[in-house]
Amino acid sequence: MDKICDLHIHSRYSGGTSNQINIRKIAQNCRLKGIDIVGTGDCFHPLWLKEINLNLEEDSVGLLTFPRIPQVKFVLQSEVELLWKHNSNIKKAHFIILLPNSDKLKDVSEFLASFGNLNIDGRPVLKISPEKFIVSMNSFDKMIEVIPAHIFTPFYGILGNNLQFKSLKEALGEGFKFVHAVETGLSADPTMIRCIFELNNLSIISNSDSHSLHFHRLGREATVLDLHRETYRDIIKSIRENRIIKTYEFNPSEGKYYYDGHRSTRHSSANSYFCSPKRNTIYCPICRDTLTKGVLSRVYELKDSEMPINENFQYIIPLLHLISIIYGGSEYDNKNKSLYREIVKSTNGEYNIWENNTDFDPIPNELREAINKIKLGNYWFIPGYDGVYGKLQLGQNFNHI
Ligand SMILES: [Zn+2]
Ligand SMILES: [Zn+2]
């Protein structure tokens, strides 16, 4: 059975998140959007864990359910920020961790508390190397899964520009053999991962890394797994055995770290600057500081393989975002949100719109045309850079930008 999974989200206890996030709303919004299995986010944070325990019922196969919305299953999940010294340089990187049940979570939390304060941020900062972290997690339980998050992003991606590792093996040491998958992140797609030889045996997953409950964030990237059974164990096995039907992806140029650049807030003039990595510019022409190198730059540096691409993935654009572009206003306007709700209720989730023909009744003509343009690739983005999302342009096909 195909299950749409978003295995990396955050609670309101992580930095930069909406204070509206709660378990009931996650379950409701996953149901509307069409997500079958979702991470709890931030499961090491004691206050969020309290809410998980109060609101969700855990079953014997490691899944949790909000009783009023039994169709949506939760998995115990957190992102962690590891901080360590490598050849006398400080490194920081983000990892997703999935846990098989709350007993194991308790043991792991006690262990991790000696490496950092779990009470401060939903995404705890832990002073431990990825090698020690991954090897320790494996010795706690073979079914704990650690996945490098948004691997190419400049500041916290394990292969990102700031960390300057030449390979995942160099970064993870003995931990490398316990890693089975990597997460694309919004500014990369599977084709960018597959041009690095050492990553070719790993599965590729995509998740939203959502910091809010809004429909243009939750499930904006997702992974469709082929499950034999709806259990935690089979979710992990399907990732390890690469039983991945497809991923739903942002077009990387929409991501916040695709091109090299400096956002406007870095400059007193409020002007921004971005350029293609082919420009090969190190310094910002406005402020003369080093540019934030994007994911595309980094992939050019690491690329060592011309493997044929047989990865199954599909670009999608959050429907609520598309609605706000077609009808004006923002994703937060009630009129846009109510049209969104009307559509996804009748189409049984947002992903069906991208899978099937778009002759669904409540979709107005102009929106239907826009959806079809996206499906045909008849759109492009002013690329994202240095924390700024790309801007969608419908119409001419400038995908090569
Ligand atoms: Zn992260
Ligand atoms: Zn600058």
Could you tell me the distance, in angstroms and rounded to a whole number, from the CA of residue 155 to the centre of ligand 2?
17
SS (H, E, C) 214-226: CCCCCCCCEEEEE
Distance 156 CA to ligand 1 centre (A): 6
Ligand 1 centroid – CA 96 distance (Å): 8
Instruction: Say which ligand is closest to the CA of 281.
Output: 2
pLDDT at 400: 47
Which residues pair with residue 379 across a beta bridge? 394
Q: Is 50 left (phi over 0), alpha (psi -120 to 50) or beta?
A: alpha
**CATH no. for 2-254:** 3.20.20.140
CA of 250 to the centre of ligand 2 (A): 26
Please give the distance, rounded to the nearest whole angstrom, from the Cα atom of residue 160 to the centre of ligand 2: 20
CA 237/CA 251 separation, integer angstroms: 28
Report the separation in Å between the CA atom of 191 and the middle of ligand 2, taken as the mean of its atom positions. Answer: 30
Tell me how far the alpha carbon of residue 330 lies from the centroid of ligand 2, in angstroms: 28
Ligand nearest to the CA of 15: 1
CA distance 272 to 385: 10
In a 3-state reduction of DSSP, which class is residue 333? Answer: coil
Q: What is the dihedral of CA 276, 280, 284, 290, to 10 degrees?
A: 120
Q: Is 220 exposed, middle or buried (0-12, 13-18, 19+ CB in 10 A)?
A: buried
Q: Residue 310's pLDDT is what?
A: 72
d(CA 236, CA 7): 11
In whole angstroms, what separates CA 230 from the centre of its chain? 22
Residue 79 CA to ligand 1 centre (angstroms): 7
62 vs 144: CA distance, rounded Å: 11
Q: How far is the CA of 161 from the centre of ligand 1 (A)?
A: 15
Q: What is the pLDDT of residue 382?
A: 95
Q: Which amino acid makes up residue 163?
A: L
**In this structure, are residues 353 and 371 in contact, taking their beta carbons and an 8 Å threshold?**
yes
The pLDDT score that the predictor gives to residue 318 is 96
In angstroms, what is the span from residue 272 Cα to ligand 2's centroid?
A: 7
Q: What angle do CA 83, 159, 174 make, to 5 degrees?
A: 65
Q: How far is the CA of 67 from the centre of ligand 2 (A)?
A: 51
> How many whole angstroms from 94 Cα to the centroid of ligand 1?
5
> What is the CA(8)–ligand 1 centre distance, in A?
9
What pLDDT is recorded for position 353? Answer: 94
- Six token digits for residue 335: 């009129």
Q: Which amino acid is at 14?
A: S
Residue 69: phi and psi, rounded to 5, are -130, 70
CB 197 within 8 A of CB 305: yes
Tell how far the Cα of 342 is from the centroid of ligand 1, in angstroms. 32
The DSSP H or E segment spanning 299 is: helix 295-302
Q: 10 Å Cβ neighbour count for 375? A: 17
Which ligand approaches the C-alpha of residue 282 most closely? Answer: 2
Which numbered ligand comes closest to the C-alpha of 272?
2
Amino acid at 365: N
Q: Which listed ligand is nearest to 257 at the C-alpha?
A: 1
388 Cα to the center of ligand 2, angstroms? 14
| Cβ atoms 29, 215 nearer than 8 A | yes
Between the CA of 273 and the centroid of ligand 2 the distance, in Å, is 7
Instruction: Give 281 Cα–ligand 2 centroid separation in angstroms.
Output: 12
- Cα–Cα distance measured from residue 210 to residue 216, given in angstroms and rounded to the nearest whole number: 9
According to DSSP, the β-strands at 313-315 and 2-6 are unpaired
For residue 391, report the distance from its CA to the centre of ligand 2, in Å. Answer: 20
Pick out the chain residues at pLDDT < 70: 307-309, 396-401
How many A from CA of 264 to the centre of ligand 2?
8
H/E run at residue 99: strand 89-99
Ligand 1 center–CA 272 separation, angstroms: 24
What is the pTM for the complete model shown? 0.95
Q: Mind listing the pLDDT tens digit for each residue in 163-197? A: 999 999 999 999 999 999 999 999 999 999 999 99
Res 253: pLDDT: 96
Å from CA of 298 to ligand 2 middle: 19
Ligand 1 center from residue 269 Cα (angstroms): 30
Does residue 19 contact residue 12 with C-beta atoms inside 8 Å? yes
Q: How far is CA 88 from the centre of its chain?
A: 30
All CATH 3.20.20.140 domain ranges of the chain, comma separated, are 2-254
| Integer Cα distance of 162 and 301 in angstroms | 13
CB 212 within 8 A of CB 20: yes
**How far is the centre of ligand 1, averaged over its atoms, from the C-alpha of 223 (Å)?**
17
